[in-house]
Copies of this chain bind each other. A is one copy, B any other.
Amino acid sequence: MSGPLDRFTVSRQMAAKKKIALVGATGIAGQQFVAALAEHPWFELARLVGSERSAGKSYGDALCDPRTGARRWWCDVEPPAAVLALEVEHSRDFSADGVDLVFSAVEADVAREIEPRLARSKPVVSTASAFRYEDDVPILVPGVNWDHARLLPLQRQRRGWQGYLTPIPNCTTTGLAIALKPIHDAFGVSKVLLTSMQSVSGAGRSPGVVALDVVDNIVPFIPKEEEKVARETRKIFASLGEGGLRDADFLVSATCTRASVLEGHTESVSVSTEQPASPEQIVAALRAFDGGSGLPSAPRRWIIVHDDPFRPQPRIDRDAEGGMATSVGRIRPDPVLDNGIKFVLVSHNTKMGAAKGAVLVAEYLYQQGLV
């Protein structure tokens, strides 16, 4: 890829940055977009959109707690001064005029109302689940199903839109899909069982996971999560043909639990492959995986394979490659499944699994001339 990409990169550097609108800017997911876009080489945050509570205030003021006046900011990267000065617009009145791309970080119910309106005129990349399961809507996972972007022109055409709508998956699906990709390509995946031990940040802050529920505890259920993981994984590995997407025919069985971890989902995964594969072959396939380069947010190493059996651990490994790597370890045979392989993975749920992952998707779309 390096030749054309380099030319793209060079030409990119001479162009003006693309203007970005962010819907749901004040929530924790929105803040993560602000952090992911700080000093971005291609994109520039130009408009911020929020609810009634924030509209008309500067972003800096909208972030302040009314009781104490203190700023409520939850990311490790500080918000740029220019962004703090932007006025937050009311989502009801917002039209995406003058921007090139919209990121949406709202909840599913709000997304259902606002995203189609904006997608009529602009590309919308969303973290919400509202439209993930519609036939002409791809769920793009960086490095896994870039080819599904070809569905977007069809979506435009079919809906009569100038823009389009493309959500990223649930954060639990992302790491799974990335780890399965090289295995599927090399050996074919026929069955997947997983148990996730998910971090509390996946649930946001309002109210998010209450400390009373997870200190000294495991919560064995996350509503709707298991269905999302199963359904989205099969759609992400769908083949895209004449008739659109045809879901992968492998089955996924997920048990999703919540653990006392701040960031980073851990997943214990067993896979049955179509062709037999030794652990060494799986390791080699994972290590060789390259999800694409030349994109500013792409990790250098997409998958980091650990030989140390005590790894990956969410606290130690979640921030590898700026939270954009998927860390995999404990690769060994699963004696119960046919051609069974099992492993443990860690994926950063609020970086590759959320805003930074969505920005990476947008980078790809822009590189492909779709923005």
Residues of A within 8 A of B (CB): 67-68, 70-71, 74, 191-193, 195, 197, 200-201, 205-221, 223, 230, 251-253, 255, 257, 259-262, 266, 268, 270, 272, 307-316, 329-330, 334-337, 340, 342, 344
Contacts and interface: CB of A to CB of B under 8 A. Distances in A.
A331 to B, nearest CB: 11
A262 B259 CA distance: 13
Contact of A253 (B205, B266, B334): B334
Contacts of A219: 310, 313
Contacts of A262: 211-212, 215-216
B212 A209 contact: yes
Contacts of A257: 197, 266, 268, 344
A351 to B, nearest CB: 15
A212 B350 CA distance: 13
Contacts of A217: 261, 313-316
A209 B208 CA distance: 10
Contacts of A206: 207
Given A217-B316, A220-B311, A255-B330, 19 more contacts: A193-B270, A193-B337, A209-B212, A210-B210, A210-B211, A211-B260, A212-B262, A216-B216, A216-B262, A216-B315, A217-B261, A218-B261, A218-B313, A218-B314, A219-B313, A220-B312, A220-B344, A221-B309, A257-B266
A19 to B, nearest CB: 32
A252 B212 contact: no
A74 B311 CA distance: 13
7 contacts: A68-B308, A191-B336, A193-B336, A207-B208, A218-B266, A220-B313, A251-B335
Given A217-B316, A220-B310, A208 B208 contact: no
B336 A216 contact: no
Nearest to A306: B70
Contacts of A220: 266, 268, 309-313, 329-330, 344
